[in-house]
Structure 1
């Protein structure tokens, strides 16, 4: 049986918010959304949806000028050996005439389309995406639930330590037992001054968590140089935090290796690496430790699931377990991947980046774990606010 793409539509929607991390604010952030309709040789058809994760802007130009036309010109596509739609030939068609390297924004545009292709593939199969992935790539085994943590603690005008603690208290009330907060967002301050301020914020949240550092992650968003990263590391090492996230520029591998020699607890990074090759360089040269550190590559930003499958294979070859992967982005696509391919969990945004973050409407979080509904595809139709945006395509 052959498959054919019959329609591709795109749009741009705002995900702006008056919040900031240590590096950027999100007041003008946008996202691309796409809808792809695929028709099977037997006349069945399905429409899949896709969008890009927060932190990168919409890509209407790249989509319209290069990647959508290539998909439209792909013609008939070979089916997967199981008889269903296979996104890999479509992905190959998108990447025709693209040189290696230069992954920045191109990987985002391809990732948007890739998400829609996988959503359509699962719908044509009549399966949730997590189940399709388990069947094709994980011997039919899927996790019962995914571990998730509440990402927040952003800087906001007028928000003090009491406001931060109240935010974290809300997340605990939603069923999360692990939370994440931003640090390093005090521009203009000397390192020592900023560190003292952040230590007060961290200690306040730890008090809420009964002193259990394993329930708290801190995130620098790549702001620090080596001196600041080491100064913070020395001060927080005794807290036993779940992880110290993206303390350094994501491409500065040798400096990561230096930090890993000094900071014993887990380090997390990778959300701003957008290809298997960049991830491989991190594994080869970043000094990370496969028994404790966390890899956060986001399939929606890094050429999609087709490339992410290559990344997982590379990790296995280098002695890393998929359980060390906890993707950035907080979206249903990565949640399906986590459950179907046996990752270590997924990020969640309970209060920011609506309507793209979060899970199907009415699905509860219990002790930082969430079960997947039996909805064909990624499950966008079961997330009311998000589907209200996507269905307009």
Structure 2
């Protein structure tokens, strides 16, 4: 078998929402297609991939560095030992050839987008859902039959008052979610408390609500928020300070007994190790949010899970950022703790299979080969529009 062609383009996922740090008015993402010479149902097998929101498209890195290495490589060097399928690890090594350690920047985003397409193609060629392929390879064939989700929303946008926030949260409950998330840090502490209390009137209990500061706070502000949040007994308090300020995170743990979450803006297994060494994260209550599509893909994520196991962390404490189907497959196949979901924002690069509803805060996975993009009609149509 051979890779016949690799295509990339840029998708817009812009909207007028904002968090405490950025707005999404010009947000983009890179989309990738890997076309193979394997024929199924009269058509070539194509693997699709893209990266999560929050990082802009990486077209320059893809065109100038990552993709030329793959197209210039010996085709056999990209295959597994059988010669009948692609090898994600060998492909990853080719993509990273002549790249220095560290200095991750936007490079892990580019590799992550291609890596997603590789795994989609691998599972399609194997004619199994990706979650089953992962479970068979790495978890003794045992996969979760459903995945816990939380609905991420509660963004700031012009004119959004408490009633609009409450209506949004109610809409998530109506669609089967039980835990929801909202943004903080884009208003004063007093106003954010009023917003939290308005949301709690709808969701009913702090254990049904997460809050996310998107790295906005210095230590003093993070502690002031922690003291104000403590009585609510929230599901988690997310990314209070800069993602690389492990000292802030460690000190915050001395002031906040309830669960915290962070990790979506860390991009390698070395970053994960440093967080667990120095960030004061507590394996009995805290959550890790590493996003494979922003951090060199699933190949690197497997290394991250190994680091966690070495340091006494269960994979069940991982709930990936990103709200995409790759992480959903990983959650089921690798026994993660759940997955983020974006019911309304970043369309169409959000959501899961159209025909599988969220029920009591959980979703089942499709049984079609690959990641499952073919069961998400709006997303597949947009990727084909950009890449065909």
| TMscore range, shorter length | over 0.9
Evaluate the alpha carbon distance shift between residue 124 and residue 201 of structure 1 in structure 2; reply closer, same or farther with a 3 A threshold: same
TM-score by length of 1: 0.95
Q: Alignment length, in residue pairs? A: 383
Q: Which among 218, 232, 251 is matched to residue 244 of structure 2? A: 251
2:17 match: 19
2:377 match: 384
Give how far 1:336 is off: 0.5
* Native 8 Å contact 1:45 1:124 kept in 2: no
1:207 match: 201
* Native 8 Å contact 1:74 1:90 kept in 2: no
Distance 1:89 1:205 in 2: 47
2:58 match: 59
Evaluate the alpha carbon distance shift between residue 374 and residue 315 of structure 1 in structure 2; reply closer, same or farther with a 3 A threshold: same
Q: How does 1:307-386 map to 2 (within 5 A)?
A: 307-386=300-379
Evaluate the alpha carbon distance shift between residue 32 and residue 84 of structure 1 in structure 2; reply closer, same or farther with a 3 A threshold: same
Evaluate the alpha carbon distance shift between residue 44 and residue 132 of structure 1 in structure 2; reply closer, same or farther with a 3 A threshold: farther
Residues 77-86 or 253-262, more deviating? 77-86
Give how far 1:208 is off: 1.3
Give how far 1:131 is off: 0.5
SS state at 2:98 partner = coil
Unpaired runs of at least 5, structure 2? none
Give how far 1:363 is off: 1.2
Distance 1:320 1:259 in 2: 20
Evaluate the alpha carbon distance shift between residue 285 and residue 63 of structure 1 in structure 2; reply closer, same or farther with a 3 A threshold: same
TM-score by length of 2: 0.96
SS state at 1:120 partner = helix
1:31 match: 29
2:69 match: 70
Distance 2:297 2:239 in 1: 21
CA root-mean-square deviation: 1.6
2:214 match: 221
Distance 1:300 1:16 in 2: 19
* Native 8 Å contact 1:12 1:58 kept in 2: yes
* Native 8 Å contact 2:39 2:45 kept in 1: no
Unpaired runs of at least 5, structure 1? 187-193
Q: How does 1:148-227 map to 2 (within 5 A)?
A: 148-186=149-187, 194-210=188-204, 212-227=205-220
Give how far 1:4 is off: 2.7
Evaluate the alpha carbon distance shift between residue 83 and residue 136 of structure 1 in structure 2; reply closer, same or farther with a 3 A threshold: farther
